[in-house]
Structure 1
Amino acid sequence: MPTDHSYPPLPEPLVVGVYDNHTHLDPPPSTGSGNEESEGSEREVLDYLEQLDRASSVGVRGVVQVGGDIESSIWAAEQAAREPRMLAAVAIHPNEAPRYDEAGRLDEALAVIAELATRPRVRAIGETGLDFFRTPEEGRAAQFRSFEAHIEIAKANGLALQIHDRDAHDDVIETLLRVGAPERTVFHCYSGDGAMARICADNGWYMSFAGTVTFKNAENLRDALEVAPRQLLLVETDAPFLTPTPLRGRPNAPYLLPHTLRFMASHLGTDVSMLAAQITSNTELVYGTWDSEPVTAE
């Protein structure tokens, strides 16, 4: 039986709205997230405005559109400037950093990110960090250099930092402590365990949970969810990747965020609306409000 790559139906709307603080709505092929494989190479494509309309209809109040290279970061900044439901995060993804470095363009790419960081409605630097799963040993020096540069860009502009951390927990934490983490630091698609969650909590770092927390084999994430202070919780889709159970195999989208939120609330034994209100407050503390800067006319 062929795999269904169509978008799932709309979930029941949330009573209290919430934000998707990490998504990739740029047109495919999306280069913004080198950390995960798409849930189907022949997936249906939805225009980003249709994605946002669907999200609004189920109580997802807004999104942070995340870049991972020069092109996707420019796209994020430009679309956020004219779309009131979108803020932007800009960066060179850790798996892209060695490629730019090999081409002799890493400094150029970092300069572009530094310029984009000054634009209206760009509220975060990310996703940046370390990825030892996809990048071999010879590319890691470029990852470290890029990560440290992004940390400094975030601090220089008073922006949040969104971290991509894959198979690199100890080195990411060591770098943050050595260089000095920005005041608002987010572990996107949190992938650590309960012990790491305690380290994050001790340092005031936010933990953003994606659809992976619903996966059957993700006990470490559920342990971390139990440990994480509620005031440091965020939620995301990382769309079009990491579609939550029971919809795995189909493309993810911001409008599917209620599935992950409801799972988190159920696991924590708390009311969905109460958790949504807490996460919404947390999200606005990290990124500011979506209406605090005007959008420009088309």
Structure 2
Amino acid sequence: MTRLAVLGAGSWGTTFAQVLADGGADVTLWARREEVACEIREAHRNSAYLGDRLLPDAVGATSSIEEAFDGADGIVLAVPAQSMRATLESWPALPPVPVLSLTKGIERGTDSRISRIIAEAGGAETERIGVLSGPNLSGEIAERRPCASVVAADSEELASVLATWCEAPYLRTYTSTDVVGVEIAGAVKNVIAIAVGAATGLGHGHNTTASLITRGLAEITRLGVALGGRRDTFAGLAGMGDLVATCSSPLSRNHRLGLALGRGLDVRAAAAEVGQTAEGVATARAVSELAARLGIEMPITDAVVDVVDHDARIDEVTTALLARGVRPE
């Protein structure tokens, strides 16, 4: 039996531990707090994130990173994007086994993709790092509702190995060698989801949200291709699939944060209302800076930055977006 360590016991890490166990793996879930690890071990629950949902018997837990690493055939990282580097630097080097990242975001300050952070701060060779993305609303996956995702790695061989970890009956996993495209799509869709949620919170209708989703996909594609991603990636599960799910579902933290902004809350109050990390808030500025260096126009992303970083009013930003001059699509 494959032994996998899932590092990060939030809602997504815990849910994915269930996925891996349902796929036949023996899973050790690392939690920062011992009381969380103890509850998972003894009650098979993580009540802070998944309520009363029972976890499979094959999911254990520890608060010792050394214990999590011990005997692991693979590592799955579910640490928030903005704390990934510091967390990895506080641990021993990752063991020499395949690593799968579940984290979606771009690091502020360095504008680094998550796989690059794992290589730099975790001591993992690039050729053994893969990333997973797609329409991954953890609440639905926890309920074992059917969905699909993409696992990307530099080699098809590694992508296939990582995909075999995710063979739960309700999760169909496809493979890709476009790591850049999959990571950019997974990061930027969170920013677009904030804009779409805000438009809904302001009372705008489906025409507005469909327009923002479509033009948001154009922004994601422009940036991803400029960084070396493949255009077809953005029309697939990691691109359009994840974007639609994140922009339209009340289960999406970034969508809910946007809704709160549209109702008139400032970003701090909106984040408090959501109660969990909405990666799009921190990612927006990093994406905007990265695009500016490359000369890529990303007006929706820039508008989100104005709101979350510069306290612009969301209704004024929306008006400015709709007032842009005539141009070819």
Pick the structure with more helix per residue.
2
- Taking structure 1 as the reference length, the TM-score comes to 0.33
TM-score, scaled to structure 2: 0.31
> Which has the bigger relative contact order, CA under 8 A and spacing at least 6?
1
